[in-house]
Each structure stands twice: as C-alpha cells, then as structure tokens.
Structure 1
Amino acid sequence: MPHETDLASLTPRLVLVTGPSGAGRSTAIRALEDLGFEAIDNLPLSLLPRLLDGPPLRRPLALGLDTRNRDFSTAALLEALDRMGAIEGLSLELLYLDCRADVLSRRYSETRRRHPLAPAETPEDGIAREFDLLSAVRERADVLVDTSEMTVHDLRAEMDRLFAPVTGQGLAVSLHSFSYKRGLPRGLDMVFDVRFLRNPYWAPDLRALTGLDSAVQEHVAGDPRFAGFLAKVTDLTLMLLPAYLEEGKSHLAIGFGCTGGQHRSVTLAERLGRALAEEGWQVSIRHREQERRKAAGGVS
C-alpha cells in the first residue's frame, strides 16, 4: 500500500530558476508555484542573504533570477550559489532553462519585443550577449532543460515531472496520450504502442470525436484484444508502483501512442487512469495532441 510522508521532516528545498530571456522562466516559476512552491521572481541578488537569514522555510521556495535585475552579475550569482550551497540542511538546486539562439530569435520576432540586453539593437545581439554572460552559470546547473522544442504545456509537464513534491502516497503517476507522428513526449518511463487496436478514425461518425467521448471508448473497447491488453497493463503497473516507491521514485510517467493521438491512446490513458485511481494512486492525465489542437484553436 502507498506510504504516508511526514512533510515536516522534509529537507527545506530551494530552486533557483534562470536562463536566457525568452526560454520560459516565467512559465516554469508559475508551474512551480502550482506545485506548492512559494515563488518569487526577479529577486535582486543582494536580497538573497536577508531572505535566507529569516525564519526557516516552511514551504519549498522557487526564486527566479534574471539578467535584467539591477545587481545581476555572473560572479555575484556564482558566489551566492557557493554561499547557499554551504548552508547545512538546505536542498539547493539550480534550474537552467536553455534554448537555441534561432528559436529565441523567432520568439522575439513573433512577439516584437526588444531584448533586455539590446534595447536599441537586434534581438540577435542581445541573445549572443546573454549567452556569453550566462555561460559559466549554465555549467553549474543541477537541472538543465532545453525548451527549444517545447510548448508551454510541455514545459509545465516537465516541471511536474522534475519537481512535484513527494506527498501523501509518495509517488505520483502521470499518463500521456500522444501521436507517433510527433514523436514521444519527454520524460516517459514506460511506453505502450496501441496502434494494433481498432481505429475509430475509419468510422465516419467517430472521426471528429476523441477518446474522451464514450462512443469512441466503446468502439475501441469493442476490439477483442482490448480487455486483455488493458488488464495486463493495469496488473503490470500495479505491480511496479510499490517497487518504484520503495526505490524512492516520486513520479512515474506512462505513455500510450497511436497514429493521431486522438482516439485509441486517449482511451487507454483514460481507462488506465480510472483503474489506478480506484486503487488509491494519485494520477494525472495529459493528452498532448488535444492540447495542441486547443492551442491552435481547433476542435478539442
């Protein structure tokens, strides 16, 4: 059975979030806040000692550090890392959000924003300047996440995978549906290919629906191989979860892939999620292709 975790016994956790402008720092900070972190963005480095000299941390803390801060310097940040790393009983992590220069340039072009380090020049000048400024900081990163090919949803899911607190039963399960056309989602621990099941795409009245609709689920479940497959996957997962928990793992990500990520994979993620929740496990479900359609203004 899942174990209970005494939150009061957890080591205080501090995550410093930095990286080049436009790489997703604000999104990461908001995601950490949703995970229960106390979040402070754009904190001047000179205020760090005062913050840490205050009362003991009762919640995990996420601090956003930006080159736009008035007292930012590479040397000052590295010195702060050394100083905080020496604090006994503090779990310190430096999260560096990286991104390719061409992607950052495109993001600035799409938003027509000026780069903070090159307000009167091209964004490319500012990007190059910032890469040079942060190169030594990047080398010190405990966690490096490249957001070049990530959507906002992808980055939030990655924050959940990396920083979700160990609470309650001690292990969270996330289920993902996806299309093989777009490749595998990041961070999956187990993947099941469900393209062998009956495909609702070929039923005209079901084509525009998704695996969230009961008619689609019934169609997929009507495949004579469905029940046995779901039973075996459920049994395997329920056998593995306690073992991963004993090994100290806090998160397990399971993916189901099909051709379009709309019908069969969604159905399996929903059905397995229901089965695991009934056994008392903490489950979240993410349908990647549905998120992309919503973001593009398409049919959900």
Structure 2
Amino acid sequence: MQLVIISGLSGSGKSVALNVMEDCGHYVVDNLPSALLPQLVTHLRGAGYQRIAVAIDVRSGSGIAALPRQLETLRSMVRDVRFLFLDARDDTLIARFSETRRKHPLGDDSLTLGEAIAREREALALVAELGHRIDTSDLSANTLRNWVKSFMNLEAGSQITLLFESFGFKYGIPVDADLVFDVRCLPNPHYDPVLRPLTGRDQPVIDFLERVPEVGRMVGDIYAFVASWLPSYVNDNRSYLTVAIGCTGGQHRSVYIAEQLAERLRDSARVLVRHRSFK
C-alpha cells in the first residue's frame, strides 16, 4: 500500500496536487482529521485500495499538532508513506486569495488576510519539516502538476532524495531551499545576443560556460561541499535535501550548474532537477 499525505498553506496548491493524485489512481480524501488516519488506512486496505492520498491542513484544527506522532504509527502500518508540504510566499498567497475572492480558513472580522496567513504558517511550522517541501510561489498550475508527478515517480526506500533547483535572484530565493549557492559572480551568457534566448541546457551556452575556468571551479567546490556533507544529512534521517543554485535571471548559469551537479551526484542519491525561472 502507498499513502501520500499532502499538507501546506491555504492557497499553495493542495487542490492541484490532490487532483494529480486522483488522476494517478489514488483514492483521495480532503480535509481529514489526522487522528482518523490509522482508521482510514485500515478501512481502505480492507476494501482493497492500494493507493491513498489524504490532504490534512489547518482546517483540521489543533489536532494537526499530532500529525508527527501519527506519521510514526502510519509508517508501521504502511510500507510506502510519503509526505508533501506545499508552501508559498506571503505576497503570493495574498494575491491568490484576492484573485479568487475566497475567504482564508482562519479569517474572521478580527484578522487581516496577512495576519491569518501568519497564524496559519505558525500553526504548520512543525508539519512543514516532515517531508518534501515545494515552494509554489512562481509556479503555474501545470508546472506544479509536473513537479508532483516527479515526486510520485520516486521509488520508496531509505535513500535520500537530492533536489537541485535553479532560480533567479530577481524573483526571490525559493522558500523550500535547504542550501543556497549564489553563482552570480560568474560570467553571464545573457550579455551575448546569440545566447540570451537560450538556457543552460542548450549546447552553445554549455560551450560558453565550459570555456570559463571559474565555472568549473564553482561546480567542483559546490560538488565537494554537498558530497562531503550528504552523509551527515542521511544520518540525520533526512528524506529530502534541496540545493538551490541562483543566478540573476535563473536561465543560464544556475541551470547549467544545477544540471552538472545532478549528473555528478546521481550515484550518491536519488536525484531530481528543477528549473524555476523558465518553462
């Protein structure tokens, strides 16, 4: 049996993620109190269901504080338990609520929308560290669907998942990053009119960057740091480690370096690569 638990801030994309789960053949339950998870698993297993996806968030009230303990119980019942937490910047959440005109679950006459979001973020602080975290701030719904599918395609097991994520500093640092490396000091292909519309995955940009010794040194230094400390993260029982590589626009240098690091570390961990700033 596989159990996927989805949590996160209101407006961060949980409905999109649940729809992906349903499309993948999971039995989907939204807004379940965490205390009922063991009973749900027992009931659905008896009914023959093998894949379950459950959304649990602040709508469950104070009971969500028990979710970390519930996960330990669930892992003794189900071989493949995955936890996905969706996050976003406050300004993005405010904009989404303004566009949809929906009321925040914690909103009332005594709280502004910003204050309700802050209260929800505080209530979910411990839950946010339980599993894989995705910052949906600058993601389209289609991109989020693809990222959730990538998360689901990972095989279960004890091996850590290492995510290399390129981004542009002008769009802000992704909130899901565990380690952040700034590569803006390297020569920028953006200033070459021929290379400007390309990305760090295109061969002309790769050739440009590989001719610069500092780029090779940067890749080697970041690789050495991550490879050296990766066993410590594994020993700390981490399931996921997100390494964010940032340049100015997130199109050339950070993309190239994220791809290079992923290729070098594929034998050390399960590896994902994501590029935030271009489609």
- Range class of TM-score, shorter chain: 0.5 to 0.7
Number of residue pairs the alignment of both structures matches: 251
Which deviates the most, 215-224 or 230-239?
Answer: 230-239
Output the TM-score relative to the length of structure 2: 0.66
Distance 1:19 1:286, change over 3 A: closer
CA deviation vs aligned residue, 1:122-164 (integer Å, no higher than 9, x gap): x4xx61687349x8x9586553699894534686699799999
1:181 deviates by 0.7
Output the TM-score relative to the length of structure 1: 0.62
Contact 1:104–1:127 (Cα < 8 Å) also in 2: no
SS of equivalent to 1:209 = coil
SS of equivalent to 1:89 = helix
Distance 1:32 1:130, change over 3 A: same
After TM superposition, list the pairs within 5 Å mapping 1:1-300 onto structure 2.
15=5, 17=7, 23-30=12-19, 38-42=26-30, 51-54=40-43, 55=45, 61-64=52-55, 89-90=73-74, 102-108=94-100, 123=101, 127=103, 131-132=107-108, 141=124, 143=127, 149-152=137-140, 167-168=156-157, 170-277=159-266, 279-291=267-279
Contact 2:135–2:174 (Cα < 8 Å) also in 1: no
Q: Which amino acid aligns with 2:269?
A: W
Distance 1:219 1:33, change over 3 A: farther
Query: For residues 49 and 237 of structure 1, what CA distance do their matches in structure 2 show?
Result: 37
Contact 1:273–1:285 (Cα < 8 Å) also in 2: yes
Structure showing greater radius of gyration is 1
Identity over the aligned pairs, expressed in percent?
Answer: 27
Query: For residues 137 and 245 of structure 2, what CA distance do their matches in structure 1 show?
Result: 20
Distance 1:184 1:198, change over 3 A: same
1:26 deviates by 1.3
SS of equivalent to 1:127 = coil
Show structure 1 runs of 5+ residues with no match: 1-7, 67-73, 109-122, 292-300
Show structure 2 runs of 5+ residues with no match: 76-80, 110-115
SS of equivalent to 1:265 = helix
SS of equivalent to 1:289 = coil
SS of equivalent to 2:5 = strand
Q: Which amino acid aligns with 2:232?
A: A
CA deviation vs aligned residue, 1:187-215 (integer Å, no higher than 9, x gap): 21111111122211122221111101011
Query: For residues 166 and 84 of structure 2, what CA distance do their matches in structure 1 show?
Result: 30
Contact 1:177–1:257 (Cα < 8 Å) also in 2: yes
Distance 1:249 1:225, change over 3 A: same
Distance 1:31 1:283, change over 3 A: farther
